[in-house]
A and B are shown apart, each in its own frame.
Chain A
Amino acid sequence: MKQPDASQFHDLTFKSVLDALPCHLSIQDANLNILFGNQTFINDFGNGIGKSCYSVFHGTEHKCNECPVQKTFADKQVHVAEETILLKNGESVQMIVYSAPLFDIFGRVSAVIKILTNVNLIKEAQKELVTIGQSFALLTHDIKNMLEGLEGGAYVVDEGLKDRDWELTAKGWRIVSKNVAGISRVTQDVLFSSKKRAPEFQSVKPSEVAHQAVELFHEKAGTLEIQLNSQLNPSLPYTTLDAPSMIRMLSNLIWNALEACDKDDQKPSHSVIVRADFYDKNHFMFEIEDNADGMDETTQKNLFEEFYSTKGDNGTGLGLLVVDRIVRNHKGKIEVLTKAGTGSLFRTIFKI
């Protein structure tokens, strides 16, 4: 077998190899002073040679309680720890700290080599995994409830048919329809919030988009005996928008408003108004206003948190998360006005 030709690497110095490592490498003495740092170290911590590691890595004048370097000096073993490290630009980063002994000719630990590896991205991924796990459990629970509702509705329909009781049959069918719509909505929200979907930007009239969204809910509003009105300014100009996303956003807000009205038993009648109008000469707004029960302070604070819902078994909390994501994708803004016992108004603002 042909031996590899190493002659081309003869000019490389040991230091240049250490400098090229994509991790922070330093060598420390028994007083925890830094004797050497590679280029990556210097880039992120400045010239810390001669300074203590705790001042350079943690910005403190006190030794750390669980110091892997001290442990290595004590037991001559390799130690690994996870620490929050402060970079010279003020950023805090999660790092894996690896310490290994450097021995002299008598087998004593003369220095310790310390390698720091940035694991921020891995930590983010871990957090995502935890969120996905929680989401899956919550969604499964909600879908189970809706399926049970579906079974209950089907049972009522069966009983109605058996007894030729058309009123009971209609009641059962309403339960079935409600739960089918719920499952459909949850599924669409899950798909929307989990898939990386490329936006389909096109020139559309915001009032047309709002009209399409409102059209989807006339039947539901009628069934719930809620007035669904729209005030759409036709003079809003063509604007570049991802129309399917906008319809999704408006649908979620209209759905929430209708559900809130349906839940509120304090008023004799309910209405939901959808508006599309100029916000100012360079921006337009959509408004969805209801006269349901409004929101208390806690609900307002948690509105756009993942999986926060006030609808109990009838909501996953995904709807507003999807709204928030769509607004952010369009570099827009959400404003909420609400008063407990009075109603709510959701306003989204976008550039024309």
Chain B
Amino acid sequence: MSAYKNILICTDFSEHANTAFVHAVDWAKKDNAKLHIFNVIMPDDPCENSVAQTSSDSDGTADAASSGEDIIQQTIGALKLKYRDSLKAYLKDFEFVAKIGTPDVEIIKYAKQSRIDMIILGALGIPEKDRATRVRTAANVSKFAPCQVVVIQKNIQQAFGI
């Protein structure tokens, strides 16, 4: 089997996604691949693909954010904070990416643009009642992605302390 060169790990910071992340790092290390750590920000108005002028921190306090680009940078910051330290010990080549839109559409678009040859994502993500969208992300990415797709369930031993 030929080695993968570009692996995309999609995370919504959920338990499933964290488990998928462990597999993605493992696979990227084995194949010496570049790992793209990807998060999709749900727009406040999907019809305009716009985000609100304010966002909330994890503790619920409002934090002023002037544009979509600011929110993208904030999200990339959050991805780095959560994953960068644990990645450095294992991988040389990785990139953090955030996009605004519908998750399945953005994941597939990015996979096409960046010549991704494997997508790894969690099965269900955040519990249904807390989910930002009812879009069937894992099912749709599995069906329509231009490359291999691996959907991971949680319940394996958590590595990396994440």
Q: Pick 14 A–B contacts, CB within 8 A, sort by A.
A: A278-B133, A279-B46, A279-B135, A280-B133, A283-B47, A285-B134, A337-B104, A337-B105, A337-B144, A345-B140, A345-B144, A347-B135, A349-B46, A349-B47
Chain A proximity of B64: nearest CB distance (Å):
22
CB pair B46–A333 under 8 Å, yes or no, is yes
Tell whether A337 pairs with B47 under 8 Å between CB atoms, given A278-B134, A279-B133.
Answer: no
CB pair B146–A285 under 8 Å, yes or no, is no
Q: Does B42 contact A (CB under 8 A)?
A: yes
Measured CA separation A200–B1 after assembly (Å): 58
Measured CA separation A280–B135 after assembly (Å): 9
Measured CA separation A349–B105 after assembly (Å): 13
CB pair A332–B47 under 8 Å, yes or no, is yes
> Which residues from chain A contact B145 at a C-beta distance below 8 Å?
339
> How many interface residues does chain A have, given as a range?
20 to 34
The SS class assigned to the B binding surface is loop
Q: Does A324 contact B (CB under 8 A)?
A: no
CB pair A285–B135 under 8 Å, yes or no, is yes
B interface size (C-beta, 8 A): 17
CB pair B134–A277 under 8 Å, yes or no, is yes
**Pairs A-B, 10 closest by C-beta atoms:** A337-B144, A333-B47, A339-B144, A278-B134, A277-B134, A349-B46, A335-B105, A280-B133, A332-B47, A283-B46
> Which residues from chain A contact B49 at a C-beta distance below 8 Å?
333
Q: Does A351 contact B (CB under 8 A)?
A: yes
CB pair A351–B133 under 8 Å, yes or no, is no
What 1/0 mask marks residues of chain A from 317 to 352 whose CB sits below 8 Å from any chain B CB? Answer: 000000000000001110101110011010101110
A residues in contact (CB < 8 Å) with B: 277-280, 283, 285, 331-333, 335, 337-339, 342-343, 345, 347, 349-351
Measured CA separation A345–B46 after assembly (Å): 17
CB pair A343–B46 under 8 Å, yes or no, is no
Most A Cβ at <10 Å: residue of B47, B104, B135, B140:
B47
Q: State which of A278, A331, A343 has its C-beta within 8 Å of the C-beta of B143.
A: A343
Measured CA separation A280–B47 after assembly (Å): 12
The residue in chain A whose Cβ has the minimal distance to the Cβ of B43 is A280
> Which residues from chain B contact A283 at a C-beta distance below 8 Å?
46-47
> Which residues from chain B contact A349 at a C-beta distance below 8 Å?
46-47, 102
CB pair A280–B46 under 8 Å, yes or no, is yes
The residue in chain B whose Cβ has the minimal distance to the Cβ of A342 is B143
17 additional contacts (CB under 8 A) given A338-B144, A339-B145: A277-B134, A278-B134, A279-B46, A279-B102, A280-B46, A331-B47, A332-B47, A333-B47, A333-B49, A337-B108, A337-B140, A337-B144, A339-B143, A339-B146, A345-B144, A347-B102, A347-B135
